[in-house]
Chains A and B, each alone.
Chain A
Amino acid sequence: MSEYKHPLTDAEFALNEVVGFDALCAENGFDDINSELASVILTEAGKFGTGVLSPLNVIGDTQGVKLTEKGVEETAGFKDAYQQFAEGGWNSLIADEAYEGQGLPNVLGTAVNEIWQSANMAFALCPLLTQGAVEAIAHHGSDELKQTYLPKMISGEWTGTMNLTEPDAGTDLAAIKTKAVPNGDHYLITGQKIFITWGDHQMTDNTIHLVLARLPDAPAGVKGISLFVVPKFLLDENGNPGARNDAHCVSVEHKLGIHASPTCVMSYGDNEGAVGYLVGEAHKGLAYMFTMMNCARQAVGLQGVAIAERSYQQALEYAKDRLQGTKKDGSRFSIIKFPDVRRMLMQMKSGTEAMRALALVGGAAVDRAARATDEAVQRKEQARLELLTPIVKGWITELAQELTYLGTQVNGGMGFIEETGSAQHYRDARILTIYEGTTGIQALDLVGRKTLLNKGEALADLLAEIEETVVALEGEAAFAEQGKALREALNAGQEARTWLLENAEQDPAAAGAVSVHFMMLFGFLCGGWLMGKSALRAQALLDAGNGDPEYLKGKLVTAQFYSEHLLPRTKASLDTIRKGSASIMALSEDQF
């Protein structure tokens, strides 16, 4: 099977035509940053993804990781790849220039990150987690903490991990039991954390763990959790790794997928207690986690785009090569000629392109919210960002399950055989709807915090913006059908919003019961919105004689397919939403 190849043309189209990268940079103080630079960066990152990361993807899946006396040993070859990655400066793309980051826009980071995740998701989880740790320290740590840890974490010389989950506390983070006890200028942490991604490895000289723990006098529940920095190796007076801290990986999980990403059980304080340093103020740990939630959740959404794309590339290659039909003259033809195979490929193609556009729009929302100078504008951008995040994470990762399933289906019997590679993408995708907040949590977040809490105002704003695109489509004869389809989907969104606002109060189970359908409705609606925008832009470029006509004509057809095959799901979702919670909740537990 061929190595991963970055779909540069589509990424550039989404970045330039849907997000409007040049305007975003100009309006938000990103001087000297423009689409030309973005193209160069994406091109070079693409080469690295194809040449260095992709060749390790299968090896990572088959060899996985081992826990030995040394600690966790990652797949052979990963260390060298990681060093090249860090030396290439890729770890520092969006980081603050004050700490030698490149300070590039978040949306560009999203576009580049798609390459790492698509080329080798297990590998790319390492820098992804480091990013989370960097943000925690950068946003909330003291200057001393930042100066001590950020430079090497941003360069990639050290990696980082996020330690939240415990055996009894997953979705319910308030239930964590890990303790932090004051001890001079630091704290001693004891407890066990599970599902810690890249919790240990041999690729770098140090790993910096961000750990949620309770102080002795902490209030109960969510308001009693604090955040600590717990380095694998304590730093000596020169800031270099010295003594081993009492933080160890005690086992690695045997998982369905992402085998090369060590999923660790971390034990803190088996002996004297792990030395930890408080990040920010006491008892603010969960609040800090919330500030990072947008980026963390969107990163997982982006992984959905990436794995769907990878699965699509593999399926497409197979469909072009696999001969399973005989013509009258005896010659054989490839399965891509069969309408149903073609349908599956179009589903994957249109789904992935819509998902990519949404992930980038979400990534750009981070930039807009962070850089808005006017208060009113900042509030609006922030609200938009908060609204998009659960859709990006929840909808994209759910659709990615369907698309990777189709990838395997296109391969027929060989899809079930590991060797063709499709099975790995199917398995790797499975975690995406689970970690960083399950689909259910994303959906609850969307209906609760992001809709009911602001009385649907953020959603109304979004629907109004979508309507602009509907009107534009309706205004062109060539797009009459697409305009009609998007209008119907928009109506479904508006009615779902109305239903939720009207019924949530009377029926306490209503919001939860309809939440996932609600999220998927808005996901497919947003996808249709952005594909509609894409179609309008593609036509405009074709009319002006700019760009690659083959690609642009393909985009028009893909957008049409989306509106015919995926957008109608919004109507079905509305039907179900209107039925509320009755048949969901009516059975007693014993009747199951």
Chain B
Amino acid sequence: MKALVAVKRVIDYNVKVRVKSDNTDVDLANVKMALNPFCEIAVEEAVRLKEAGTVSEVVVVSIGPKACQEQIRTALALGADRGIQIETDEMPESLGVAKLLAKVVEEEKPELVILGKQSIDSDNNQTGQMLGALLDMPQGTFASEVKVEGDKVNVTREVDGGLQTVALNLPAIVTTDLRLNEPRYASLPNIMKAKKKPLDVKTPADLGVELKAHTRLLKVAPPAERQAGIRVSSVDELVDKLKNEAKVI
């Protein structure tokens, strides 16, 4: 069985994000980038399935500029077998990403496609689901457990009320949630081996996909600043403020 894992190069989760003074976007100049944490979990899950003998090959794909080869190499160092970079300088929207991935799926024919549930920059949580729709493949989103059983995969999902388990016909899409696994640290021998693993570069044109903008980013602003606090005189007032002003309960 082949597993295809899609990974994204994003801002390192430790970095404090700053909005550009012209409010056109977030300032990413010289900012530390890394493998999206949910994507790392996806790679780890695929590698574990390989170690368990369920999956025989793990292919990792990333869409982005040349620099995203760094993240592909990281995934290779974690145990993936080969990488594909789809080179674009402008980051496509989720639908565009899904369309590109759909072409890769058609070529590679994996039984399992594993993605992070969302990337920590856009926080969209859409790509895996859109890919499922385009390919008519079932999806197990926000997975906290994945078990392949014969020609199906049972996915336990983290939902608002607790946990839900669905059985999906293979080939299927899984998107990872935080509790699915704890990614390993890359070992030095694997980092060294990763240099030699194959990494193919393609373009959207190679895949026959024309990317289209469906949205326009008008403005990016910092969130409302922390205002000075107020004294409340009673529990009633506190509850009222929390419910209606702060809207946290």
Contacts and interface: CB of A to CB of B under 8 A. Distances in A.
> Which of B30, B70, B188, B191: most chain A Cβ within 10 A?
B188
B30 A88 contact: no
B188 A92 contact: yes
A542 to B, nearest CB: 12
B34 to A, nearest CB: 8
Interface in A84-103: 84, 87-90, 92-93, 102
Interface string B58-78: 000000000000100110010
A373 B4 CA distance: 47
A89 B185 contact: no
Contacts of B192: 102
A547 B70 CA distance: 17
A495 interface: no
Interface in A544-592: 547-551
A102 B77 CA distance: 15
Interface in B184-230: 185-192, 194-195
The A contact surface, by secondary structure, is: helix
A37 interface: yes
Nearest to B14: A5
Interface stretch (A43-51, A356-364, A420-428, A473-481): A43-51
Interface size bracket, B side:
10 to 19
A90 B70 contact: no
Contacts of B74: 40, 44
A90 B188 contact: yes
Given A102-B192, A549-B30, A40 B73 contact: yes
Contacts of B189: 89, 92, 102
A143 interface: no
Interface string B71-93: 00110010000000000000000
Contacts of A543: none
Contacts of A76: none
A89 B187 contact: yes
B185 A84 contact: yes
A51 B183 CA distance: 12
A69 interface: no
Contacts of A93: 188
A40 B188 contact: no
Nearest to A84: B185
Interface of A: 32, 37, 40-41, 44, 47-48, 51-52, 84, 87-90, 92-93, 102, 547-551
Given A32-B195, A44-B191, 7 more contacts: A37-B195, A40-B70, A40-B73, A88-B188, A89-B187, A89-B188, A89-B189
10 contacts: A44-B74, A87-B187, A88-B185, A88-B187, A89-B189, A102-B189, A102-B192, A547-B30, A549-B30, A551-B30
Interface of B: 30, 70, 73-74, 77, 185-192, 194-195
